[in-house]
Structure 1
Amino acid sequence: MSHADAHDSTAHDGALHETDVVIVGAGPVGLFQVFQLGMLRIRAHVVDALPEIGGQCQALYPEKPIYDIPGYPEISASGLVERLATQAAPFKPRYHLGQRVETLEPAVGGWLVGTDAGTRIRCTAVVIAAGAGAFGPKRPPLDDLPVYEQQGPGEGVHYMVGRREDFRGQRLAIAGGGDSALDWTLALADIAEKIYVVHRRDKFRAHPDSVARMRALAEAEDDRVELVVPYQLHALHGDQGRLTGVSVTTLDGAERRLDVDALLPFFGLSSKLGPIAEWGLDLERNRVLVDPSNCATSVGGIYAIGDVATYPGKLKLILCGFSEAALAAHDIHGRVHPDQALHWEYSTNTGVQGF
């Protein structure tokens, strides 16, 4: 059963709904926003273009281990999404999945949100938790790349790892020097036959602990992980549409061929804000500028949290997005319940009282 099946959701219903807050984005930060609002007796609907909740965590790397969630020394991306959905469930969020928010119009007392499926939602406030917007992998400039993108699990070119088991016993080239490249090197090292880590220099941008662990694997006697630096991808080789190798070159032109079954290039994601960019919000480098004290945007009643939001000193961490969800919820309370003073108590005292 998908996450969408497990929770109240709507398909392309084309209906008119009313709620307190519309959350644009059903990733981890958007899901935690449901909980924070619910604790303040504020109802929420959630809209996401993907067919199930979880955002990039669920769509791109459900089995990727995450290490910086408080209380979890390690948790998979899908495991985190499942727990956040369970945490939000008592507040009965309404999910509109497989729909993209297209329009945002002023309405009496707030806003009218419209999707590409014809669904309309009248609300008091809007929270943009859309990550970096619509996203896709940055593809390496290699000839015949689309041919090898069509291969089955564990073979060819892949920009995400849906199931670790698909790569058991395979020879892999993992290209990139950031957290994703090293996280998957560490996660696949115990099941792959061989991993070549290809990077243009012998300095990595990933978390220092991940770099140290990766180097320790490369120095191990079993030779299962090999650093291929300083090299960059040059060409793909195959036999009847099946990837058999990758050529890499140095800046000086020295070339080497790696015999592999699969290439996993992790060069980041390209993103676009889409219609959000047309909503009249102050933007900076494709991010929405917010007041760090409450995550309010330049337009009253619209907030932004998570990776889509920016302000001086911003850290792009999930846990910072969680904090921003709490700040936004407390400011939204004054809009949704203007006649009610907010006497905040700790959840340890109040418990979780669902709707």
Structure 2
Amino acid sequence: MTDAPSFSTDVAIIGAGPAGLFAAFECGMLKLDCVLLDALDEVGGQCAALYPEKPIFDIPAHPAIEGAALVEALDRQIAPFDVPRLLGRRVERLAGHRGDFVLGTDRGDTIRARAVIIAAGAGAFGPNRPPLAGLEGFEATGAIQYYVRRRADFAGARIVIAGGGDSAVDWALSLKDIAEKIWLVHRRDRFRAAPESLRQLDEAVAAGLIEKIVPFQLHGLHGADGALEGVEVATLDGDTRILPGNRLLPFFGLSTDLGPIAQWGMDSVRSTIPVVPSTCETSLPGVFAVGDVATYPGKLKLILQGFSEGAMAAHAIHPIVRPDTALHFEYSTSKGVPDRG
């Protein structure tokens, strides 16, 4: 079924990250058929593609869980519903109206759906790259990377980490036990990370496991043939020093783009889609948005909030797909997992 060029379903879910996977589960619990579509070749979104080994600390009932493990658990959760996946496909077209939409992908697939959930995360994303001469040559060899997919790849490395947010601090803490040396470079001695992470950072600095380089910014790269031998940093006053690192991890955030979604007639604000908080419906009736791509007053960009939004969207979609069937709210402990038959 996943190879069919055209088929119908109740709900088309665009984005197979954590929010999209849980939305599929909630649809299944309401006996709504759905299909998952994603431009990546695997489910999991950014968790799987960028941070599979990064621990996540704010998932209920999990004091800590790595991104890949969370995705695997969410995937197992929807297994009873046999949800089709169209992966490695970018949804480029959306036409129709509430109750009857037609979606088209760049691979020629045509999907007819009664409702649509956009769980596209940050949309099309890529790293903000520092403007340094010779950057491409070091990127090609992996000396400069913007994501950590396998911690083991950095064992024994001399790592320069640049940035002042959660990613920079979290990875400095995560890699400190396997790296030979870690320098954490930021333009000021004030980091925008979670308070507990900052407490751990202070402890690691005091123990000599991480060296803070502040207030400095990236200034130049030293090495040849893709082998990084040093990272030059500079203050705003022009003072420079060379850190003898052989790996550079710049964490300056992601550049995001809604791509074709921005052309579908919905309101958008800075690569996010405003929704009604109680239903997660967008300005286009019958199209809903959940997860990081959705915005409303008081929105928190947390995975757990995306889970809640998936549940609200599924319940709001039920009367669209089953207008003649009353929906009586039941707890999963009472009804269990519905039989697909």
Which TM-score band (shorter chain)?
over 0.9
Find the aligned partners of 1:74 and 1:171 in 2 and give their Cα distance. 27
Give the Å deviation of 1:15: 1.0
Name the CA shift for 1:60/1:250 in 2 (closer, same or farther; >3 Å). same
Aligned to 1:5: none
CA distance in 1, matches of 2:98, 2:168: 48
**Residues 25-57 of structure 1, C-alpha deviations (whole Å, 9 max, x = no match):** 000000000001111101110110001111011
- How many Å separate the matches in 1 of 2:318 and 2:311? 11
Which consecutive aligned stretches of 4+ in structure 1 deviate over 4 angstroms post-superposition?
Answer: none
For 1:98-139, what per-residue CA distance to the aligned partner results, in whole angstroms no more than 9, with x for missing partners? 000010011694100110000011010000000010000110
Match in the other structure for 1:125: 115
Shift in alpha-carbon separation, 1:248–1:354, aligned structure 2, 3 A: farther
Identity %: 58
Secondary structure of 1:122's counterpart equals strand
Q: Which residue of 2 aligns with 1:56?
A: 46
Post-superposition shift, 1:353?
2.5
Which residue does 1:328 correspond to in 2?
Answer: 313
Question: 1-side partners of 2:150 and 2:106: how far apart?
Answer: 31
1:2-37 CA distance string (max 9 Å, x none): xxxxxxx83xx4611110000000000000000011
- Contact map agreement 2:98 2:115 (CA 8 A) in 1: no
Which aligned pairs between 1:188-267 and structure 2 lie closer than 5 A? 188-220=175-207, 223-267=208-252
Give the deviation of 1:239 after TM superposition: 3.0
- Answer whether contact 2:98 2:285 (CA < 8 A) is retained: no
* 1:193–1:224 Cα contact (<8 Å) kept: no
> What's the secondary structure of 1:79's corresponding residue?
helix
Question: Are the counterparts in 1 of residues 37 and 86 from structure 2 also a CA contact under 8 Å?
Answer: yes
- In structure 1, how many angstroms separate the alpha carbons of the residues matched to 2:334 and 2:131? 56
CA-based RMSD of the aligned residues comes to 1.2
Q: Which runs of 5+ in 1 are unaligned?
A: 1-8
Partner of 1:165: 152
CA contact (8 A) 1:14 1:118 kept: no
The answer as to 2:338 corresponding to 1:353 is yes
Q: Give the secondary structure class of the aligned counterpart of 1:125.
A: strand
> Residue 142 of structure 1 corresponds to which residue in structure 2?
132
Could you tell me how far apart the structure 1 residues matched to 2:279 and 2:170 are? 33
Which residue of the other structure, out of 34, 37, 41, is the alignment partner of 1:47?
Answer: 37
Aligned to 2:7: 17
Letter in 1 for 2:21: L
Alpha-carbon contact 1:101-1:113 (below 8 Å) kept = yes
Aligned equivalents of 1:229 and 1:93: distance in 2? 49
C-alpha contact 2:123 2:271 (8 A) present in aligned 1: no
Paired residue type of 2:176: A
CA positional deviation for 1:182:
1.0
Output the CA distance in 2 between the equivalents of 1:129 and 1:245: 40
User: SS state of the match for residue 157, structure 1?
Assistant: coil
Number of the residue aligned with 1:286 = 271
Deviation of residue 184 (structure 1)? 0.7
Contact 2:99 2:115 in 1 (8 A): no
Partner of 1:90: 80
Distance verdict in 2 for CA 1:86–1:242, change over 3 Å: same
Query: Offset of 1:166 from its aligned partner?
Result: 0.6
Contact 1:101 1:275 in 2 (8 A): yes
3-state SS of paired residue (2:62) = coil
Partner SS, residue 285 of structure 2: coil
- Letter of the 2:191 counterpart: F
Deviation at 1:240, TM superposition (A): 2.9
SS of the residue 1:283 aligns to: coil
Task: Return 5+ residue gaps in structure 2 as ranges.
Answer: none
SS for the counterpart of 1:216 is helix
**Residue 107 of structure 1 contacts residue 122 of structure 1 at CA under 8 Å; is this kept in 2?**
no
Q: TM-score, normalised by structure 1?
A: 0.94
Paired position in structure 2 for 1:178: 165
Equivalent-residue separation in structure 2 for 1:268 and 1:101 (angstroms): 25
TM-score normalized by the length of structure 2: 0.98
